[in-house]
Amino acid sequence: MASHYVVRTVHRAAAEVIEALRQAGVATVHEAAGRVGLLGPDVRARQAGAAIGGSAITVSCHPGDNLMIHAAVEVCRAGDVLVVATTSPSTDGMFGDLLATSLAARGVLGLVIDAGVRDIATLRGMGFPVWSRAVHAQGTVKASPGSVNVPVVVAGHLVSPGDIVVADDDGVLAIPAATGPAVAAAAAQRLAAETAKREQLAGGTLGVDLYNLRPLLESLGVRYVDQLP
């Protein structure tokens, strides 16, 4: 029989590093990290305007079975993000407002799930943000073993317990906790550079001039004409 575990100890990143990455946002952190860490676009925000950063508590569930989500709640702490995968593809609604209420009571910031959620109106109303592959009312059972705090693959990306998870309207990103300080420093540099660029673009400077793209366009054979020849 396969081994299943609920691992209690998770090495989390420093709160100030996580907060800096949350404020920078998914797109900036993705760039600052070297274009790594993104989950695929099929796991997407189910509300507008939520932006969270936290430590991953990972869950591996049998499809159509949310037993291990219930088991995971106990090992969550304030500032965590629950990250759920299934061992084969599933869009069943394995998470809803009752589980969200339980997680919120422990200070969990949100859910990232490579499966379905339901009770979405209530989830939005209570302000518990979710990023999911589907919204589907399909009910699930509590019958099969799985694991908590083992590495899982979510929307094509490997997420390990304690990874820094940043999620907003652009999607979800997870990077190893140890890389957090360096990525936060690179993100701060990027944000400063973008502030300067934003001012120039607002003043009417064109991107082709700001980024010196005219020589590139010419070298690529792009010709400016008044009418098609």
Ligand X SMILES: O=C([O-])CC(=O)C(=O)O
97 binds ligand X (CB under 6 A): yes
Nearer to ligand X by Cβ, of 67 and 187: the residue is 67
Q: Two tokens at 20?
A: 């800096």
Element (H, E) at 44: strand 44-45
Residue 148's binding partner, choosing from Mg ion, ligand X, none, with beta-carbon cut-off 5 to 8 A by kind? none
3-state secondary structure 156-205: CEEECCCCEEEEECCEEEEECHHHHHHHHHHHHHHHHHHHHHHHHHHCCC
Instruction: Give 155's DSSP letter.
Output: T
64 is an interface residue for Mg ion by CB under 5 A: no
Region of 24-32, 67-75, 111-119, 205-213 interacting with Mg ion (CB under 5 A): 111-119
Q: Which of 92, 114, 119, 170 binds Mg ion (CB under 5 A)?
A: 119
Q: Cα 29–34–39 angle (5° rounding)? A: 60
Contact predicate 43/167, CB 8 Å: no
Locate the DSSP E strands across 50-97.
52-61, 80-86
Q: How far is the CB of 191 from ligand X (least distance, A)?
A: 37
Q: Segment 111-130, which members bind ligand X (CB under 6 A)?
A: 118-119
Measure the CA angle with vertex 184, ends 179 and 187; round to 5°: 125
**Rounded to the nearest whole angstrom, what is the least distance from the CB of residue 141 to ligand X in the complex?**
8
Nearer to ligand X, 63 or 176 (CB): 63
Q: What is the bridge-based pairing of β-strands 171-175 and 164-168?
A: antiparallel
Q: Does 55 bind ligand X (CB under 6 A)?
A: no
Residue matched to tokens 């899982």:
152
In the complex, least distance from residue 219 CB atom to Mg ion, rounded to whole angstroms: 59
Residue 33 binding ligand X, by CB under 6 A: no
Q: Which two tokens stand for residue 34?
A: 């070297």
Among 140, 147, 149, 160, binds ligand X (CB under 6 A): 140
The reply to whether 116 sits near Mg ion by the rule CB under 5 A is: no
Residues that bind Mg ion (CB under 5 A): 96, 119
Residues that bind ligand X (CB under 6 A): 66, 95-99, 118-119, 140
